[in-house]
Amino acid sequence: MARINYRECNFDGIVGPTHNYAGLAYGNTASMKHGLHPSNPREAALQSLAKMRMLMQLGIPQAILPPHERPYIPVLRRIGFSGSNTNILTQAHRSAPQLLAASCSAASMWTANAANVTPSCDSEDQHVHLSAANLCSQAHRSIEAKTTERILRNIFADDRFFTHHTPLPSGLTFADEGAANHTRFSAQYGAKGIHLFAYGRSALARNQLPHQFPARQTLEASQAIVRLHQMDPTRVLFAQQLPEAIDAGVFHNDVISVGNENFFFYHEHAFVNTAQVVKDLKEMMQRHCHRDLVCYKVTKEALPLEEAVKTYLFNSQIVTTATDTMALIAPQEAQESEAAQRVITNLLASNTPVKTVHYVNLRQSMHNGGGPACVRLRIVLSDAELQAMHQGVLLTDPLYEQLVQWVTKHYRDRLHPDDLADSHLLDESRSALDELTVILGLGPVYDFQL
């Protein structure tokens, strides 16, 4: 039988026209630090498109997820603001500026949080399973779930290949942050893998919690995903994030560890009992995938937690390139830190699959706590599945050029949280998104289009 070819495709979120710094994400130190600074949405979107193009040029399939409709008038109506759209924006700005900012947040750009996705080679029914995340730990992100689900259903519409689940119930028990706390390991992308799910707290069992910042992801949410996606429970490991790391600003596990195929790059303080987690992963990899898991540990002496959070070194993407070696796609901030540079130099010189590093400038996103790994959702697809998905969102050179023109035409180059009440911004944002759905051939996905 011919071997089915699988590839990992990155789905990056396009930064939306209302990208701003509102300090909304408690526990995300970059967001807290940059709150109320002016932003540059145009630069943000161009930076993220440039990163997508770089990955495409490395031969990695690259796709796009469109931004969400913002300001999100339906949520402002739902929480009691009424009248015309202009009235709603003015009232909200006057009486609840934080809620107005939440309704304007461009946070859907961090698509690592958009969903959990299980490749067909890992699910019992051999379907790709997709669950949009409820993101219910943060008000400004909880409003993403419905639109994300709609977009994913449009892109992956062929039910011979794709199964969608509605987001988990909102509330304290099933708080789900999508793929940002999930790492899949495998011999190659298309071989059945093993899965690491990190969680901050368990709603039903007692575990030690961070003192200062919220633990966003629950164990129960990840367990529900494993059941829904028909994953083999013997190939899954659940591990608790170290509470001290969350208190140092590690709000998602992808800020402190990253894996790809048979390689794991992690900080010693990523988990409660990190040594045991790594030992269990190595055993699972041997037992199920008949392959060594190559692990590279970074100690706190080499990179203190604060420096890991400041540089977002572990929020690099690790991708397998055409030459069958791996590349580290690291944020520019890691290039500017001596400690992070030493770690990277040692990593490249050691016996791991990572042979090259590329630095990317995502500073607009980084100021809200989003590095290279935050802005992409990894989806492993067979050739047939890749062909069965909507083709209009796959990045090509002409689409890249078209998107650059689209951003340049529609986006502002300066936005302050005080500008969010400007009803022109609502009009600008809607006409930009309307045009984008035509460019991507997506059909109506926004409330204002339905």
**Could you list the active site residues?**
177, 252, 374
- Whole-number Å distance between alpha carbons of 381 and 216: 28
- The distance of closest approach from Cβ of residue 227 to ligand SUG in the complex, given in angstroms and rounded to an integer, is 23
- Whole-number Å distance between alpha carbons of 147 and 132: 9
- The distance of closest approach from Cβ of residue 382 to ligand SUG in the complex, given in angstroms and rounded to an integer, is 26
Pairing verdict, β 236-240 and 257-260 = unpaired
- Closer to ligand SUG by Cβ: residue 25 or 128: 25
378 part of the interface to ligand SUG, by CB under 6 A: no
Give 317's contacts (C-beta < 8 A, 6+ positions apart): 10, 55, 258, 328, 329, 372, 373, 376
- Here's the x/- map for ligand SUG, 14-53, by CB under 6 A: it reads as -------xxxxx--x--x----------------------
254 part of the interface to ligand SUG, by CB under 6 A: yes
- Closer to ligand SUG by Cβ: residue 44 or 395: 44
- The distance of closest approach from Cβ of residue 374 to ligand SUG in the complex, given in angstroms and rounded to an integer, is 3
- Here's the x/- map for ligand SUG, 259-298, by CB under 6 A: it reads as ----------------------------------------
- Whole-number Å distance between alpha carbons of 77 and 260: 43
- The distance of closest approach from Cβ of residue 60 to ligand SUG in the complex, given in angstroms and rounded to an integer, is 19
- Closer to ligand SUG by Cβ: residue 41 or 369: 369
Instruction: List Cα–Cα distances, 320 to 127, 338, 360, in angstroms.
Output: 23, 26, 17
Size of the site for ligand SUG (CB under 6 A): 23
- Closer to ligand SUG by Cβ: residue 243 or 371: 371
- Closer to ligand SUG by Cβ: residue 112 or 393: 112
- DSSP letter string, 378-407: EEEEEHHHHHHS-GGGB--HHHHHHHHHHH
- Whole-number Å distance between alpha carbons of 12 and 374: 9
Interacting stretch for ligand SUG, rule CB under 6 A, among 248-256, 327-335, 385-393, 442-450? 248-256
DSSP-assigned letter for residue 135: -
- Closer to ligand SUG by Cβ: residue 314 or 359: 314
- Closer to ligand SUG by Cβ: residue 63 or 101: 101
- Whole-number Å distance between alpha carbons of 309 and 292: 29
Among 14, 60, 236, 255, binds ligand SUG (CB under 6 A): 255
Among 136, 374, 377, 425, binds ligand SUG (CB under 6 A): 374
- The distance of closest approach from Cβ of residue 21 to ligand SUG in the complex, given in angstroms and rounded to an integer, is 5
Tell me how crowded residue 350 is: count the other CB atoms within 10 A of its CB: 10
Sign of CA dihedral 319, 403, 156, 167: positive
Kindly compute the dihedral angle of the four CA atoms of residues 371, 374, 379, 380, in this order, to the nearest 10 degrees: 50
- The distance of closest approach from Cβ of residue 252 to ligand SUG in the complex, given in angstroms and rounded to an integer, is 4
Q: Angle at CA 150, nearest 5°, toward 99 and 118? A: 110
Contact 18, 417 (CB under 8 A): no
- The distance of closest approach from Cβ of residue 179 to ligand SUG in the complex, given in angstroms and rounded to an integer, is 8
Among 70, 146, 201, 252, binds ligand SUG (CB under 6 A): 252
302 CB-contact burial (10 Å; exposed 0-12 / middle 13-18 / buried 19+): middle
- Whole-number Å distance between alpha carbons of 248 and 150: 35
Structure tokens at 187: 């011999």
- Here's the x/- map for ligand SUG, 137-156, by CB under 6 A: it reads as -x--x---------------
- Here's the x/- map for ligand SUG, 197-236, by CB under 6 A: it reads as ----------------------------------------
- The distance of closest approach from Cβ of residue 97 to ligand SUG in the complex, given in angstroms and rounded to an integer, is 12
- Closer to ligand SUG by Cβ: residue 38 or 392: 38
Residues 349-368 that bind ligand SUG (CB under 6 A): 368
Residues 80-119 that bind ligand SUG (CB under 6 A): 105, 107, 110, 112-113
Return the H-helix or E-strand segment holding 346.
helix 338-349
- Whole-number Å distance between alpha carbons of 320 and 378: 12
- The one-letter amino acid code at 287 reads R
- Whole-number Å distance between alpha carbons of 165 and 167: 6
Applying CB under 6 A, which residues contact ligand SUG? Answer: 21-25, 28, 31, 105, 107, 110, 112-113, 138, 141, 180, 251-252, 254-255, 368-370, 374
